[in-house]
Amino acid sequence: MHKTDGCPLCGGRDIHPLNDYGPRCLVGDYHITTGYVENVWCGRCGVGWNQLQMSEAELAGFYAGYTKKTGSADEDDLLFSTPTSEAETLTSSQATFLAEHVEARNGRVLDIGCGKGAFLRAFKSRLPQWQCAGVEPSREEATLARQDGSIAVYEGMFGTVALEPESFDLVSIMHVLEHVRRPAETLGQIRRVLKPGGLLFIEVPNTSDLNMFYDLLLFEHLYHFTPETLAWLLAREGFEVIAHQRSTSYGAQRVIARKTEATAQAWPELTIASGFESWRKLWAAMTDLAAEGARHAQAGKRVGIFGAGMTAATWLVHTTIGEAPIVGLYDESPWKIGRTLFDRPIYPMSDMSAHRVELVLLATMPGSQQLVRHKVSAACPSGTQILGFGGPP
């Protein structure tokens, strides 16, 4: 592990603590690893980062075996923002947003960290004349991405695979920039492979959005960006921001930027301190709720958790509910039902009545708790208690 001293982006020395934990760490592919995290933030440019970072070689080895799900290239994350859009997937949402900002009818697109290729296939379904390529370090995911032959996959870490300069019209990098050791260097490498005037589509967690609370809890999230800091960094590294969606329904931020010349930038507005204070209060409420559920389960009450995603994962790893005798987890995603999360079975929501669940903890994003509460209430036996940790409707 390598410990940084000054800010990796601006060299500033005004460093403030965010959070720290270890040696039991949660990884975004729903695994547990051994390590330590010391998240801090810079009082000059506002970026947050983990002071204890893996080396380049350690990162490459880590991601070579990384896979978020297994078994099928069709697996995707479902979004539950409104009652009428239950079937929308994450990649569908991303591809639609990007396609709305792409004027060219054809070109070459490179997706950095393409995973199983779901985003590129969704993008190509909207703009079929575009040629698709991806870079993916995970051997398993790269194999799945190649299956239908529509994507040229470069297996390895971006920056180490051979790519021709100025050979792409569009580069997408979604939930990857927060994973790399040198974000500014990665942006420079992206400029190198983009044609003059080419577009960059980037999506990263918005650290100030509570729906992305787990940004500060994932071991491999090396950096944490507020919208102000991300926009400042992009402009400094030679990108003109032409669209910036500061918060999606799930707490990420999206930027479309055009390759231009790097320019000197005034220091960004600092919002990470107030954002972290809100995060701290939310995490305390979530921890308290998980502890209450654990106490009821230990006392013999039939306790279930609705949601088998990152909220449930953070609970099972970082709170006392992880050792409690709960009935199981419940979800609506067809790609989760029938599997396990840290050895806890995942059942369809419709099974809660048959399982005689007496208490349900809502393990969903803060912004979806009100909607999910209505769904769960309709599926539960009469008299079932449903507890959430609040958040905006």
**CB within 8 Å of 281: residues ≥ 6 apart:** none
Neighbours of 343 (CB within 10 A): 6
The whole-number pLDDT of residue 393 equals 36
- pLDDT for the residue numbered 73: 55
What local confidence, expressed as pLDDT, does residue 264 receive? 86
pLDDT of residue 84: 46
Of 392 and 194, which is predicted with more confidence? Answer: 194
pLDDT tens digit string along 83-95? 444 457 888 899 9
Q: Is residue 351 pLDDT above 70, yes or no?
A: yes
What percent of the chain lies above the pLDDT cut of 90?
A: 80
Mean pLDDT rounded to a whole number for the chain: 92
pLDDT in tens, 143-153: 999 998 999 99
Q: Which residue has the tokens 């209505």?
A: 374
Q: What are phi and psi of 287, to 5 degrees?
A: -65, -40
d(CA 357, CA 371): 20
CA 278/CA 284 separation, integer angstroms: 10
For residue 16, CA distances in Å to 26, 104, 272, 280 come to: 23, 44, 10, 14
pLDDT band at 1 (very low <50, low <70, confident <90, very high): low
Mean per-residue pLDDT, 341-370 = 94
pLDDT of residue 23 exceeding 80: yes
DSSP letter string over 34-71? Answer: E--EEEEEETTT--EEESEE--HHHHHHHHHT--SS-S
Please say if the pLDDT value at position 350 is more than 50: yes
pLDDT by residue (tens digit) across 296-314? 999 999 999 999 999 999 9
Look at 393 and 318; give whichever has higher pLDDT. 318
Non-local (6+) Cβ contacts of 368 within 8 A are 80, 81, 211, 249
pTM of the model: 0.92
Least confident range of 171-180, 210-219, 363-372? 363-372
Per-residue pLDDT of 257-269, as tens digits, reads 999 998 888 999 9
Which residue type, as a one-letter code, is found at position 92? S
Q: Are 319 and 289 in contact (CB under 8 A)?
A: no
